[in-house]
């Protein structure tokens, strides 16, 4: 077998390239976060980092263009690193470390290891969450859940349609209830991360086009007749498989219906808080990954006879990005910890006022973190000059992923729309 290629041509010198190792990037992140993480969070972060380091070495992973990130899913699944949002007792897993703050640590470690891989696990998680919330101990749902959580299979979520993106509640994909309780799905979905690689999909559809109140939620095995898929090419994230699906008389048996007509909208909204916190966390993780690269590089690269970090143009830029990243990390972490507290207290069914306030906060963090990732990834790369935009490091992945993080889970305009409604609600409460 030929040696896997990490890059086309080496641009960065041997000494700097060696210093940019995953171990050193983890050390940089750990030195930054050690004091603000709880003992439990830091221990779990180190545990996932250790796994990634060994995995990278053992499998000679280069993060080069000829690797398939989906090959890694089963190994990470076996370790319990696809999701840690709950203990998953219903499928006999009972993880000791779980919750949104622990999930933060999982994402951070995976994102530093490989940002596109971290993003693909996130798309499986948004398929897992609705199955977990609505499995009702139905065996086929539990089986699907176990396959996804343990990494035996990949999952995807189908909300977006070619003609309905931001306006996700006025869907055109229809669901027709049959006499035996099954549903026939017809319509098109698009931009669904992982879909071409996924065995399981969770999809929304409506009994009447454009009627948000008549939506249902369905678990689909992608081997069923009526599932037709093409891959959508997103050049910013070339290793991710994104799908465009045509659902043609796709029959969903009764036991796979996660929410019947009228339940879809509620299920859609309940998933938004954890989804948006997770996106905010991925943005923050990308910032740390980019900063680790640029800090190491700027401390070693010499121009005009000194290290470029010592020029204010570089050093002060990185200091500015570092301050913003650290401060927002504290905010997101606190919010994740508070979310865990509320879920523990209310058993997952957050009372309306708490849920509404958390929806606004999740939008605030998604909005501000995506903006920050755009700035930090782009400017960190610039501070590295040509080395920041070539293929020798993960910097180009960070720029690509930060481009996508702005769009997924709702664009900044949609987040502002949600937040402005929150301001209206607060005023009405006065």
Ligand X SMILES: Cc1cc2nc3c(=O)[nH]c(=O)nc-3n(C[C@H](O)[C@H](O)[C@H](O)COP(=O)(O)OP(=O)(O)OC[C@H]3O[C@@H](n4cnc5c(N)ncnc54)[C@H](O)[C@@H]3O)c2cc1C
Residue 175, beta-bridge partner list: 185
The stretch among 190-198, 288-296, 349-357, 358-366 that binds ligand X (CB under 6 A) is 190-198
Binding ligand X (rule: CB under 6 A), the pick from 74, 87, 165, 260 is 165
**411 sits near ligand X (criterion: CB under 6 A):** yes
- DSSP class of residue 161 equals B
Residues 230-289 that bind ligand X (CB under 6 A): 234, 242
**Under 8 Å between Cβ of 289 and 394:** yes
Q: Helix, strand or coil for residue 416? A: helix
Binding ligand X (rule: CB under 6 A), the pick from 16, 53, 407, 419 is 407
Gyration radius of the chain over CA positions = 22
Per the rule left: phi > 0, alpha: psi between -120 and 50, beta: everything else, 46 is alpha
The stretch among 55-63, 98-106, 188-196, 208-216 that binds ligand X (CB under 6 A) is 188-196
Q: Which two tokens stand for residue 79?
A: 């370790």
The stretch among 169-177, 187-195, 205-213, 278-286 that binds ligand X (CB under 6 A) is 187-195
Q: Which two tokens stand for residue 408?
A: 């997924």
**Ordered alpha helix ranges (H), 59-186:** 73-78, 100-113, 115-133, 139-149
| Position closest to ligand X via CB | 165
The stretch among 104-112, 272-280, 348-356, 402-410 that binds ligand X (CB under 6 A) is 402-410
**404 sits near ligand X (criterion: CB under 6 A):** yes
Binding ligand X (rule: CB under 6 A), the pick from 160, 217, 222, 360 is 160
Beta strands in 37-80 (DSSP E): none
Cα 201 from chain centre: 16
Nearest one of 91, 52, 63, 102 to 278, comparing CA atoms: 102
The stretch among 14-22, 299-307, 374-382, 401-409 that binds ligand X (CB under 6 A) is 401-409
Q: Which two tokens stand for residue 118?
A: 């971290």
**410 sits near ligand X (criterion: CB under 6 A):** yes
Give the binding-site size for ligand X (rule: CB under 6 A): 21
CB of 411 vs ligand X, minimal distance in Å: 3
Nearest one of 212, 217, 210 to 126, comparing CA atoms: 217
Q: Which is nearer to ligand X, 289 or 410 (CB)?
A: 410
Q: Helix, strand or coil for residue 204? A: strand
CB of 198 vs ligand X, minimal distance in Å: 10
Residues 57-116 that bind ligand X (CB under 6 A): none
Residues 191-210 that bind ligand X (CB under 6 A): 191-193
Is beta strand 215-221 parallel, antiparallel or unpaired with respect to 257-259?
Answer: antiparallel
Binding ligand X (rule: CB under 6 A), the pick from 29, 105, 128, 158 is 158
Q: What HEC string does 221-268 produce?
A: ECCCCCEEEEEECCCCCCCCCEEEEEEEEEEECHHHEEECCCCHHHHH
Cα 317 from chain centre: 28
Q: Which is nearer to ligand X, 99 or 410 (CB)?
A: 410
Nearest one of 151, 247, 231 to 195, comparing CA atoms: 231
Q: Which is nearer to ligand X, 192 or 294 (CB)?
A: 192
Binding ligand X (rule: CB under 6 A), the pick from 10, 38, 166, 210 is 166
CB of 236 vs ligand X, minimal distance in Å: 7
CB of 404 vs ligand X, minimal distance in Å: 5
The stretch among 84-92, 178-186, 218-226, 404-412 that binds ligand X (CB under 6 A) is 404-412
- Interface residues with ligand X (CB under 6 A) are 123, 156-160, 165-166, 191-193, 234, 242, 404, 407-408, 410-411, 413-414, 417
């Amino acid at each position: 077998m030929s040696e896997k290629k990490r890059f086309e041509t080496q641009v960065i010198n041997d000494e700097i390239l060696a210093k940019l190792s995953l171990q050193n990037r983890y050390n940089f992140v750990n030195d930054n976060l050690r004091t603000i993480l709880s003992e439990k969070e830091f221990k779990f972060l180190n545990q996932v980092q250790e796994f990634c380091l060994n995995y990278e070495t053992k499998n000679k992973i280069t993060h080069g263009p000829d690797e398939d990130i989906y090959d890694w899913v089963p190994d990470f699944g076996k370790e319990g690193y696809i999701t840690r949002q709950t203990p998953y007792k219903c499928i006999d897993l009972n993880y000791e470390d779980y919750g949104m703050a622990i999930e933060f640590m999982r994402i951070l470690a995976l994102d530093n290891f490989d940002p596109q891989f971290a993003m693909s696990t996130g798309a499986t998680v948004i398929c897992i969450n609705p199955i977990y919330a609505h499995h009702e101990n139905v065996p086929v749902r539990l089986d699907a859940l176990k396959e996804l959580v343990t990494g035996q299979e990949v999952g995807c979520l189908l909300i977006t349609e070619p003609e309905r993106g931001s306006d996700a509640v006025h869907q055109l994909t229809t669901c027709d209830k049959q006499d035996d309780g099954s549903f026939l799905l017809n319509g098109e979905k698009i931009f669904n991360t992982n879909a071409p690689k996924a065995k399981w999909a969770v999809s929304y559809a409506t009994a009447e086009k454009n009627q948000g109140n008549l939506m249902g939620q369905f678990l689909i095995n992608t081997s069923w007749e009526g599932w037709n898929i093409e891959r959508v090419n997103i050049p910013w994230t070339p290793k991710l498989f994104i799908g465009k699906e045509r659902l043609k008389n796709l029959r969903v048996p009764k036991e796979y219906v996660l929410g019947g007509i009228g339940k879809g909208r509620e299920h859609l909204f309940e998933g938004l808080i954890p989804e948006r916190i997770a996106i905010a966390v991925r943005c923050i993780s990308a910032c740390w990954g980019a900063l680790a690269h640029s800090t190491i590089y700027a401390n070693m690269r010499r121009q005009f006879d000194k290290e470029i970090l010592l020029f204010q143009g570089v050093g002060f830029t990185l200091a500015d990005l570092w301050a913003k990243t650290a401060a927002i990390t504290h905010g997101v972490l606190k919010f994740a910890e508070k979310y865990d507290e509320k879920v523990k207290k209310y058993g997952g069914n957050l009372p309306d006022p708490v849920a509404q306030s958390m929806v606004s906060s999740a939008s605030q963090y998604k909005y501000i973190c995506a903006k920050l990732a755009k700035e930090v990834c782009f400017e960190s790369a610039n501070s590295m000059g040509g080395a920041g935009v070539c293929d020798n490091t993960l910097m180009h992945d960070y720029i690509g992923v930060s481009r996508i993080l702005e769009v997924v889970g709702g664009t900044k305009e949609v987040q502002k729309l949600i937040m402005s409604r929150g301001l209206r609600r607060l005023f009405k409460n006065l």
